[in-house]
């Protein structure tokens, strides 16, 4: 596999904003990346702006994911956001999007999540929580394989294929994750 790299997003560029807008409006990704209450929500499109990206960086740590030098996705975490189901101080809520088709199904998501876990551990956080829609079986399998445990289900959380689906909440204790050593790079193979 080509090199996979992870770069903290400190100042968004027009190129990054264009990629995020493309991913936010991709009909294949919309059901996987955001909760939708209806068919109309699934069909809604919007433009990501430079200002909106700057605002996002005030409450979220965002990392760009590149494969072979090309941007293919993003991952992020928030610390103790209000939507946590289990309110444990020092919890990171994580999200990941492999936005470009050529980055999917190649292990990029697994490498990205492992990197994000190490970053979270290095911050001294104690727990990770995430939500995965019940129909997203590949993501559910990945999180389970990486040691995430289901602890709750939220009924009627998101709409897809004509019905409402559950949000499966999963968690992982950060103490089981090794923090990156000083001077370690951000590339993975």
3-state SS assignment for residue 60: coil
More confident residue, 186 or 13: 13
Query: Above 50 in pLDDT, residue 36?
Result: yes
Taking the model in full, what pTM does it have? Answer: 0.91
Q: What is the DSSP letter of 162?
A: T
pLDDT band of residue 187 (cuts 50, 70, 90) is low
Q: What pLDDT, on the 0 to 100 scale, is given for residue 169?
A: 98
Count CA within 13 A, CB hemisphere, residue 69: 0
Q: What pLDDT, on the 0 to 100 scale, is given for residue 3?
A: 95
Q: What pLDDT, on the 0 to 100 scale, is given for residue 184?
A: 43
For residue 51, which phi and psi values (nearest 5 degrees)?
Answer: -65, -40
pLDDT band of residue 185 (cuts 50, 70, 90) is very low
Query: Above 80 in pLDDT, residue 110?
Result: yes
Q: What is the DSSP letter of 85?
A: S
The helix-helix angle for 108-122 and 137-145 (nearest 10°) equals 50
More confident residue, 178 or 172: 172
For residue 125, which phi and psi values (nearest 5 degrees)?
Answer: -75, 160
Q: What pLDDT, on the 0 to 100 scale, is given for residue 188?
A: 52
Name the average pLDDT for the chain.
Answer: 93
Q: What pLDDT, on the 0 to 100 scale, is given for residue 178?
A: 65
Region 147-170 average pLDDT: 97
Model pLDDT for residues 63-96, shown as the tens digit of each residue: 999 999 999 999 999 999 999 999 999 999 999 9
Count CA within 13 A, CB hemisphere, residue 23: 22
pLDDT band of residue 176 (cuts 50, 70, 90) is confident
Domains delineated in the chain: 4-188 (3.40.630.30)
Percent of the chain with pLDDT over 90: 90
Distance set, CA 99 to CA 83, 102, 110, 173 (Å): 24, 9, 14, 27
């Amino acid at each position: 596999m080509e090199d996979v790299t992870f770069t903290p997003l400190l100042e968004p560029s027009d190129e990054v904003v264009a990629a995020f807008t493309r991913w936010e409006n991709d009909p294949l990704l919309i059901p996987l990346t955001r909760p939708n209450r209806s068919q109309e929500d699934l069909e809604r499109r919007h433009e990501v702006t430079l200002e909106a990206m700057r605002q996002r960086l005030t409450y979220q740590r965002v990392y760009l994911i590149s494969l072979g030098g090309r941007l293919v996705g993003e991952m992020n975490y928030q610390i103790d956001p209000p939507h946590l189901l289990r309110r444990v101080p020092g919890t990171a809520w994580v999200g990941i999007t492999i936005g470009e088709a050529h980055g999917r199904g190649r292990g990029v998501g697994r490498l990205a999540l492992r990197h994000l876990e190490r970053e979270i551990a290095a911050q001294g956080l104690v727990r990770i929580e995430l939500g995965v829609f019940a129909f997203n079986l590949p993501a559910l399998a990945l999180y389970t394989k990486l040691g995430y445990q289901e602890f709750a289900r939220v009924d009627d959380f998101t709409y897809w294929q004509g019905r409402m689906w559950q949000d499966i909440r999963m968690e992982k204790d950060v103490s089981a994750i090794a923090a990156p050593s000083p001077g370690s790079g951000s590339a993975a193979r």
